[in-house]
Amino acid sequence: MAMMPLNRPASRPNVPHFSSGPCAKRPGWSPEALTDAPLGRSHRAKVGKAKLKLAIDLTREVLQVPADYRIGIVPASDTGAVEMALWSLLGARPVEMLAWESFGEGWVTDVVKQLKLADAKITKAEYGALPDLAAVDTRTRDVVFTWNGTTSGVRVPNADWIAADREGLTICDATSAAFSQRLDWAKLDVVTYSWQKALGGEAAHGMLILSPRAVERLESHVPAWPMPKIFRLTKGGKLIEGIFQGETINTPSMLCVEDYIDALQWAKAEGGLDGLVARSDANAKAVLDWVARTPWIENLAKLPETASNTSVCLVVTDPEITAGGQEAVAAFSKALASALETEGVAYDIGAYRDAPPGLRIWCGATVETADVAALTGWLDWAFAAEKAKRAQKAA
């Protein structure tokens, strides 16, 4: 393979933040955007309740959530939201767990080892692929899945595989899909995500969105296991409606709430969901167009129609590197990420620790396409520089 020139590219990303969580702040963000946060005030005061309710209302508007779905702000980020759903809703009927990356695997562990549901069916696929979704029993079983695999770069292409007349519930971890991909609400009964993903908010609470069918399950099903206070969504067999009006279970950071509101208002100004999806698509295209013309790297996602437009996962395929096995690929990939961080052009782009070694570039809506395009030139530079180092050592 011909070596590329080692000259550093002339163009640099203005914002080198390509982490897949916490993700880049929205363009133009500064701390001054948060000066209206009611700091030192109770979240139970009128001003605090109004801010939390505004966050819920803007969420509904930007995500185009149906009017009869409840939207709640809950503790412990997306993990807390997913586990609230699993602990509160499962056990009423058999469940099928879908896993094709590390977070889906985590939900499998919760259900099998913690809740100990003996009738759980586990359906898995390797990183970069999806299982046969048409074979998933969405009609009679509850189904738990991630819409977008944050650590594998693979997403479901749509929700056509989910039965419209299903008897069970669909529980969807959408944390790296919401605000960058269109969710089919008619097919989803529970949707969760966190502020620090696609809108680049600050870490704090998660979001739990419930369909009327999910609410019906909550009010009719009593789990067989103890329920910690932080997971309780019902009282006396009725939904605690206050949670879905901004009356949070525990104390939220009003600074983080203000940051989420700021991100949602920016999203509205960008054209709402359509604008956000278009921005993410353009960012992913900039990476994948580069991958298509670059012989030493490939998308971990095996099929274009299932490739993520947010957490784009890449694997080094240069024969000289892969000949050394996975350890060599891991070391080379780590060297690329380290070189780019040292240069200040890309931070936190190494693959997730449980995923195949490689790179992971966040392409969500808060990232600018020009920065992604500039990054690709630096990836070429880093590859050539690392190959040159290897050649010198071998000489």
Phi, psi torsion values for 93, nearest 5 degrees: -155, 165
Distances (CA, A) of 204 to 42, 75, 256, 258, 310: 16, 7, 7, 12, 21
Q: What's the whole-number average pLDDT of the chain?
A: 96
Task: Provide the whole-model pTM.
Answer: 0.96
- Give percent of the chain with pLDDT exceeding 90: 96
Domains, the chain: 34-268 (3.40.640.10), 272-394 (3.90.1150.10)
- Give percent of the chain with pLDDT exceeding 70: 99
Q: List, for residues 184-209, the tens digit of each pLDDT value.
A: 999 999 999 999 999 999 988 999 99
What average pLDDT does the segment 218-236 reach?
Answer: 96
Decide: helix, strand or coil at residue 99.
strand
Distances (CA, A) of 36 to 43, 174, 184, 259, 349: 14, 29, 34, 10, 33
- The pLDDT of residue 5 is 53
Q: How confident is the model at residue 6 (pLDDT cuts 50, 70, 90)?
A: confident
What average pLDDT does the segment 276-305 reach?
Answer: 98
Q: Tell me whether the omega of the peptide bond preceding residue 22 falls within 30 degrees of 0, making it cis.
A: yes
Evaluate if residue 1 carries a pLDDT over 80: no
Question: Please, what sign has the CA dihedral across residues 240, 241, 247, 248?
Answer: positive
Q: How far apart are CA 87 and CA 192, in angstroms?
A: 14
